[in-house]
């Protein structure tokens, strides 16, 4: 992957997963069952360009939940927390 690009997977924000299973935010910031389009909406809300792809996290190959490619030059953890604070799951 090129420099200045981050990949975000929905499992990073899934409150029902443990840290071992791939969650990267505190449970209080996580949501139940996020998908790539939810992450894309959160990024659009805060004005960060992104593309959604039909790929899966290597550890969760059977889920097919998608991934989001983000143009970002800062720290990935900062981006993840910023997205988590703006993430709203609509079902």
DSSP-assigned states of every residue in 15-63:
TTS-TTTT--S-TTT-BSS--HHHHHHHHHHTT--EEEES---GGGTTT
Q: How is the chain split into domains, by residue range?
A: 7-59
- Encode pLDDT of 4-34 as tens digits: 899 999 999 999 999 999 999 999 999 998 9
7-59: which CATH topology? Phenylalanyl-tRNA Synthetase; Chain B, domain 1 (3.30.56)
User: Which residue has better confidence, 64 or 90?
Assistant: 64
Query: Which residues in 6-26 are b (16+ Cβ under 10 Å) and which e?
Result: bebbbbbbbbebeeeebbbbe
Residue where the block lists tokens 């030059």: 73
First-residue to last-residue Cα distance in the chain = 32
Angle between helical axes of 76-86 and 36-45 (0-180°, round to 10):
90
- Encode pLDDT of 29-45 as tens digits: 999 989 999 999 999 99
């Amino acid at each position: 992957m090129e420099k200045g690009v981050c990949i975000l997977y929905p499992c990073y924000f899934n409150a029902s997963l443990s840290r071992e299973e791939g969650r990267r935010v505190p449970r209080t910031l996580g949501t139940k069952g996020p998908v790539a389009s939810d992450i894309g909406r959160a990024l659009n809300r805060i004005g960060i360009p992104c593309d959604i792809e039909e790929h899966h996290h290597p550890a969760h190959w059977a889920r097919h939940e998608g991934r989001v490619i983000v143009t970002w030059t800062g720290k990935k953890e900062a981006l993840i927390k910023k997205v988590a604070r703006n993430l709203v799951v609509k079902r």
